[in-house]
Amino acid sequence: MNLKKMYLKCIILLFLTTVVSCSSSDDDNEMGNWVESSSFDGDSRGNAVTFVIGDKGYLVSGYDGDDYLYDLWEYNKEGDFWVQKADFQGTPRSGAVGFSLNGKGYFGTGYDGDDELGDFWSYNPISNTWSQKTDFAGTPRYGAIGFAVSGNGYIGTGYDGSELKDFWKYDVAADEWTQSIGFGGDKRKDASVFVIDDKAYIGTGLRNGSYQNDFYEFDGNTETWTRLKDLDDDDEDYSILLTSGVGFSLNGYGYIATGESSGITTKLWEYNPLTDTWEDRPNFEGAARQDAVSFSFSDKAFVLMGRSGSYYFDDNWEYRPDEENDEDD
């Protein structure tokens, strides 16, 4: 082989080696990172309720393995610290729901160890007080989901002795409930929900011991439901069949994390509403769990609390989708 051909061959080999090296490096740098934040100052627990008002997150109620709880805590995301607030004035409980509207938090339903509950309350962070509102109009229940879109609150699904699929709209100004019809999905309890651009996305959960695979978008402006791509897709090679997971949203994407699926999990899935597609993201870096909760702010999102069997957690983790994954930070 002459020198010119040998030189050309070396250049080609060097180029190919560089391309493979760069490609491998890019694959290793997976985006999405979990960073542990200030642990919760109160008792460890699962099945609590959270809502966000402005730049503060609020956590109330839950179960710690011995007692049903009623304490309320405020989380400051910028200072990364907790402050205890006025105790909830109703029956201690777990498995309730909450949402925020017009600068106030709303909280209701749940289970007190003996009965399903249907009372409904409002929390005012300015006066640090609770006020009882008109009882939830559906049957008393726990394991439901709650969210706020288009200026109204909604509670639906859950368990009152059997799984449910009804949804009810709460009018804040009138303090009254009306049934919202049109949901074509299956009955379920312990589903997940997140809100993106004033639309709610609902899926997962359990019915008669079976994981539910249907996934829906709810538009509060028109009160219409749209069925989206199922949560198990052989063509796309993913399966998000679970219960007691946690949903949250950040930067225009939705997420479902942790939960129980033939065993508790640390999985994290990211949903793109523009393409109706899911992507597997770096696993939650805390211990596997179910019955966790989340805070979703405009610039940050957190997953916290929950349980693994009879062990209850008090840790708090921030998810940063634009950082490279680093399990050692």
Give tens-digit pLDDT for 277-310: 999 999 999 999 999 999 999 999 999 999 999 9
Share of the chain above pLDDT 90, in %: 87
Residue 34's nearest CA partner among 306, 294, 298, 307 is 294
What pLDDT, on a 0 to 100 scale, did the predictor assign at position 29? 62
What's this model's pTM, rounded to 2 decimal places?
0.90
DSSP 5-64: HHHHHHHHHHHHHHHHHHHHHHHHS-EEEEEE-PPPSS---BS-EEEEETTEEEEE--B-
Could you tell me if 56 and 76 are in contact, meaning their C-beta atoms sit under 8 angstroms apart?
A: yes
Give tens-digit pLDDT for 170-180: 999 999 999 99
Strand order in the sheet with 293-296: 31-36, 316-324, 301-304, 293-296
What average pLDDT does the segment 177-195 reach?
97
CA distance 228 to 266: 24
Q: Quick check: helix, strand or coil at residue 151?
A: coil
Rg (CA), the chain: 22
DSSP-derived letter for residue 282 is: P
Could you tell me if 84 and 128 are in contact, meaning their C-beta atoms sit under 8 angstroms apart?
A: no
CA distance 139 to 137: 7
CA distance 60 to 51: 9
pLDDT of 246 strictly over 50: yes
Give tens-digit pLDDT for 96-142: 999 999 999 999 999 999 999 999 999 999 999 999 999 999 999 99
Structure tokens at 245: 């997971």
Token pair 């008109």 is found at: 134
What pLDDT, on a 0 to 100 scale, did the predictor assign at position 21? 37
Phi (first) and psi of residue 42, to 5 degrees: -90, -165
Q: Which residues contact 167 (CB under 8 A, 6 or more apart)?
A: 154, 155, 156, 157, 179, 180, 181, 183
What average pLDDT does the segment 160-185 reach?
97
Residue 121's nearest CA partner among 92, 82, 157 is 92
What pLDDT, on a 0 to 100 scale, did the predictor assign at position 238? 86
Question: How far is C-alpha 100 from the chain's CA centre?
Answer: 15
Which homologous superfamily does the CATH classification assign to the domain defined by 35-324? Kelch-type beta propeller (2.120.10.80)
What pLDDT, on a 0 to 100 scale, did the predictor assign at position 8? 43
DSSP-derived letter for residue 174 is: T
pLDDT of 267 strictly over 80: yes
What pLDDT, on a 0 to 100 scale, did the predictor assign at position 95? 98
- CA-based angle 279:77:319, to the nearest 5? 15
Instruction: Spell out the domain ranges in the chain.
Output: 35-324
237, burial (CB in 10 Å: exposed 0-12, middle 13-18, buried 19+): exposed
- CA-based angle 239:242:246, to the nearest 5? 110
Structure tokens at 1: 């082989």
What average pLDDT does the segment 167-172 reach?
98
